Amino acid sequence: MLDEFNREIDYVRISVTDRCNLRCVYCMPEKGLDFISHEEILTYEEIIRLCKSFARLGISKVKITGGEPLVRKDLPFLIKSIKEIDGIENVTLTTNGIELPSQIEELVRAGIDSINVSLDTLNKEHFKKLTRFDKIDQVLKGIKEALKYENVSLKLNCVPLNTQDEEDVLNLVALAKDNLIHVRFIEVMPIGMGRELEGLTEDDIKNLIISKYGPITPYKAKLGNGPAHYYKLDGFKGKVGFISAVSHKFCSSCNRIRLTADGYLKNCLQYASGRNLKELIRSGLTDDQLVEVIRLTINEKPKEHQFDEYNKKKIVDIRDKDKKGDISSNLDIDDLESRRMSQIGG
C-alpha cells in the first residue's frame, strides 16, 4: 500500500527474538541485559497471522531478524509457513552466521531466498573485541556452507566504526573478488548503543577501496529489497554496497515497517511511533480490524528520520549541558525510540 507520502510499503522486518549469542559493541551492552520473557514474545502462530494481514495490504517481502534469529527454536518452520502465505514472494534472513553450519540445509529446504551475514572483520582478535566472543571460526564456516547453495543470494554486512582497521575493510571487500558475495557497509546509526559511537562514512570507505582496488562503477540494476546502492569492481564476482542512512538519507524511498519481538509495529527506525499489535491480537481483534490498525500505522509513517540532527544535538549536549537544544530542529527527544537495535532487529 501507499503511505501518506506516496511511498510504496511492501517490506516488513520481523524480529523473532531479542536474545543473541554475540554482544556487538554497537548493538548490545556487554552485561546487564534484560530480555523479554517468553510470554511476551510473539508466538510463531501470532507472527504468521500478522504476516497474513501484512500480505493483504500488499507487503510481499519479509526479512527475519533479531537479536540472533537462529537462536530461536524451529526457525525453518516459521520461514516455510511465511513462504506459504498468499502474496508473500520473498523471505530473507539476517544473521551473525554462527548457527548457519547446523541450520543452512533446513533453511534452504524451508525456502529462504537470501541470507545476510553480519561480519565486521576477518581478524580473530578484532572479532573478539567487537563481538566479545571468540566465535569467528563458526561464522566463516557458516559463510562457506551458505556459498554451496547458489540459488540463495548471500550478502555480508559490516558496520565500520571509526576505530576500524583499514586492513579489515579491505579484507572484507576482497571476499567479493573470488566469491559471489555482495559486501555492504552500513553507517552506524544513533540507535541504542550506536548513539555513543562514530563510524566511517561511505566516502571514507570508497576512498579506501579505490586506493587499493582501483575505480568503482555504480551498478544500476536492482539488487535485493532494501536501500543499499552498489558498485562494480573490475575482476570482482560480487558487488560492494552501501547503506548510508546518515550521509545519504533515503527516507523518500523507504519501503519498510518493523515488527519487534514483543509485537510492536514500528513505522520508522528512529521514532517510538507505532502500535502494540500483540496487545490487540491477544485482546481478540478480528482479522479485518487488525488489517485496519496496520493500515493506519503505515499511513502514519513519519516523513523522515533525523539522525543527522540527533548527532549534531548530541555534540552540543556533550560540550555544554546547559546548551541542550541549542541547535534549532524539531527533534523531540521524547519521541525517540528507546529500544536497542537488538530489540528492533536493525
**11 makes contact with ligand SAM (CB under 6 A):** no
Q: Dihedrals φ, ψ of 339, to 5°?
A: -70, 155
**Residue 342 CB, nearest distance to ligand SF4 (Å)?**
4
What per-residue string of b and e applies to 28-53 under the rule 16 or more CB within 10 Å gives b?
A: beeeeeeebeeeebbebeebbbbbbb
Residue of 12, 14, 16, 24 interacting with ligand SF4 (CB under 6 A): 24
Which of 187, 190, 171, 164 lies closest to 270 in space, CA to CA? 190
Using the minimum distance from each CB to ligand SF4, give the nearer residue, 67 or 142: 67
Options 21-29, 137-145, 198-206, 315-323: segment touching ligand SF4 (CB under 6 A): 21-29
**Residue 293 CB, nearest distance to ligand SF4 (Å)?**
28
> In what order do the strands lie in the sheet containing 264-266?
216-219, 229-233, 240-243, 181-186, 153-158, 114-118, 90-95, 61-65, 11-15, 256-259, 264-266, 274-276
Options 40-48, 91-99, 273-281, 289-297: segment touching ligand SAM (CB under 6 A): 91-99
**186 makes contact with ligand SAM (CB under 6 A):** yes
Q: Report helix, strand or coil for 196.
A: helix
Q: Output the furthest CA–CA distance in the chain (Å, rounded).
A: 59
On the 0-12 / 13-18 / 19+ scale of CB atoms within 10 A, 246 is: middle
Identify any residues that bridge with 230 across adjacent strands, giving them in sequence order: 219, 241
Residue of 15, 53, 92, 96 interacting with ligand SF4 (CB under 6 A): 96
**238 makes contact with ligand SF4 (CB under 6 A):** no
Interaction partner, residue 186 (ligand SAM, ligand SF4, none; CB < 5-8 Å by kind): ligand SAM
Residue of 17, 53, 65, 153 interacting with ligand SAM (CB under 6 A): 65
Residue of 17, 95, 267, 297 interacting with ligand SAM (CB under 6 A): 95
Options 3-11, 101-109, 185-193, 271-279: segment touching ligand SAM (CB under 6 A): 185-193
Using the minimum distance from each CB to ligand SF4, give the nearer residue, 130 or 240: 130
Residue of 17, 53, 118, 131 interacting with ligand SAM (CB under 6 A): 118
Positions in 113-132 near ligand SF4 (CB under 6 A): 118
**100 makes contact with ligand SF4 (CB under 6 A):** no
* 317 Cβ neighbours under 8 A, 6+ residues apart: 323, 324
DSSP 41: S
As a whole number of angstroms, the distance between CA 179 and CA 123 comes to 19
Do you know the residue count of the chain? 346
**23 makes contact with ligand SF4 (CB under 6 A):** yes
Interaction partner, residue 188 (ligand SAM, ligand SF4, none; CB < 5-8 Å by kind): ligand SAM
Amino acid sitting at position 223: L
Ramachandran assignment for 25, one of left (phi > 0), alpha (psi -120 to 50 degrees), beta (any other): alpha
Binding site for ligand SF4 (CB under 6 A): 20, 22-24, 27-28, 66-68, 96, 118, 341-342
Binding site for ligand SAM (CB under 6 A): 20, 26-27, 65-66, 68, 94-96, 118, 157, 159, 186, 188-189, 191, 194, 341-342, 345-346
